[in-house]
Amino acid sequence: MRPGDTGRHWSGKAVCSRLALQSVLLGTLFMAPARALDTTTSVSPQDVQAKIGYCEVCHGPSARGFVGYYPIPRLAGQQVAYIENQLRGFISRKRTNPIMANVAHTLSPAMLTALAAKLHDLNPKPVGGAPADHVAAGAKIYREGIPGASVPACAGCHGAEAKGNDQFPRLAGQLYPYLVLQLTGWSTERAEDLSGIMAPIAHNLNKSQIEEVAAYVSGLE
C-alpha cells in the first residue's frame, strides 16, 4: 500500500466519474452571474446542511477528506476561527484557488459562520493510510520538536492532541498525503497572519521528518 492510500483502489474510470460529478455539481452552483455577497443575517439549519452536502462532494463524507486523483483536505473538526479565516481569504483572493473562491463568494456572512461551526462539530474517523513505521518518530517530533534544527514542538501551538486552538488549525485526522504536500511546499499564501510562523519551521524539516510527523497526526482522532 502506498503512503496515503486509503485501502480503496480507484480505477481510472471511477476517478473520472467522480471528477465529472464534482464538475457538474460545482458548475450548477456557479452558473449564475457574479453577484455581491449576500448580507443575510440568519440561515436555517436546512440551508446549512445543504451547504455541507456541497462540501462533501469534494471533501468526502462528513468532510473527512478524500484521497483520489489528488488529496482534498479534511474539514471535519477544524477550528471555527481557522475555517472562517480561510473562507474570507478565498473571498479576498489572498488564497488563490478558483473553485474555492467561487464557493466562498456565494456565502453570506451568516452562512459562512454557521458553516464553520457545523464543520467543527463533525467528527468522523480519520481516513488513515499513513506508514505505521513513521508514527513513533513523528510523535517525538510533535511533542518535543527538533532543537538542533530550530523546530519547536508542534504541540506548543496545535495542542497536545493536535486539535488546534482558535486560529491554529487542527491537524488531528488530516489526510497524510495532504499534510506531506503542504509541509513540503509550504507557502505563506494563507488567509491568516499566523501562517508566517510555519514557514521557517516547515523549511527546517527534511523529507523524512515531514513524513513522520504527518503520519503521527493523521492517525489522531
Residue 166 within a domain: yes
Domain that holds residue 172: 132-218
Claim to verify: residue 177 and residue 141 sit in the same structural domain = yes
How high is the pLDDT of residue 109? 95
Report residues of the chain scoring pLDDT below 70.
Answer: 1-40, 188-193
For the stretch 41-96, pLDDT in tens is 789 999 999 999 999 999 999 999 999 889 999 999 999 999 999 999 999 888 88
Claim to verify: residue 27 and residue 60 sit in the same structural domain = yes
Residue 153 within a domain: yes
How high is the pLDDT of residue 42? 85
Claim to verify: residue 113 and residue 29 sit in the same structural domain = yes
How high is the pLDDT of residue 49? 97
Residue 5 within a domain: no
Claim to verify: residue 110 and residue 161 sit in the same structural domain = no
Residue 21 within a domain: yes
- Cα 65 from chain centre: 7
pTM of full prediction above 0.85? no
How high is the pLDDT of residue 39? 52
Claim to verify: residue 87 and residue 139 sit in the same structural domain = no
Claim to verify: residue 185 and residue 210 sit in the same structural domain = yes
User: How many structural domains are present in the chain?
Assistant: 2
In the beta sheet, which residues pair with residue 71?
A: 67
Residue 92 within a domain: yes
Please tell me the distance from the alpha carbon of residue 163 to that of residue 46, in angstroms, as a whole number. Answer: 27
DSSP per-residue letters across the chain: --TT--S----HHHHHHHHHHHHHHHHHHT-SPP-PPP--S---HHHHHHHHHHHHHHH-GGG--EESSSEE---TT--HHHHHHHHHHHHHTSS--HHHHHHHHT--HHHHHHHHHHHHH--PPP-----GGGHHHHHHHHHH-BGGGTB--THHHH-TTS--BTTBPP-TT--HHHHHHHHHT--S-SSSTTHHHHHHHHHTS-HHHHHHHHHHHHT--
How high is the pLDDT of residue 189? 61
Length, in residues, of the chain: 221
Residue 1 within a domain: no
How high is the pLDDT of residue 197? 87
Cell of 165: 486552538
Claim to verify: residue 165 and residue 207 sit in the same structural domain = yes
Half-sphere exposure of 20 (CA within 13 A, CB side): 6
Phi, psi of 130 (to 5 degrees): -80, 155
C-alpha pair distances (Å), 99 with each of 31, 87, 189, 192: 13, 12, 16, 19
Claim to verify: residue 117 and residue 143 sit in the same structural domain = no
How high is the pLDDT of residue 185? 84
How high is the pLDDT of residue 170? 98
Domain of 151, CATH number, reads: 1.10.760.10
How high is the pLDDT of residue 69? 86
Residue 138 within a domain: yes
Claim to verify: residue 70 and residue 139 sit in the same structural domain = no
Claim to verify: residue 74 and residue 156 sit in the same structural domain = no
How high is the pLDDT of residue 97? 87
Q: Give the CA dihedral 113, 115, 120, 123, nearest 10 degrees.
A: 170
Residue 4 within a domain: no
Claim to verify: residue 177 and residue 113 sit in the same structural domain = no
Claim to verify: residue 139 and residue 207 sit in the same structural domain = yes
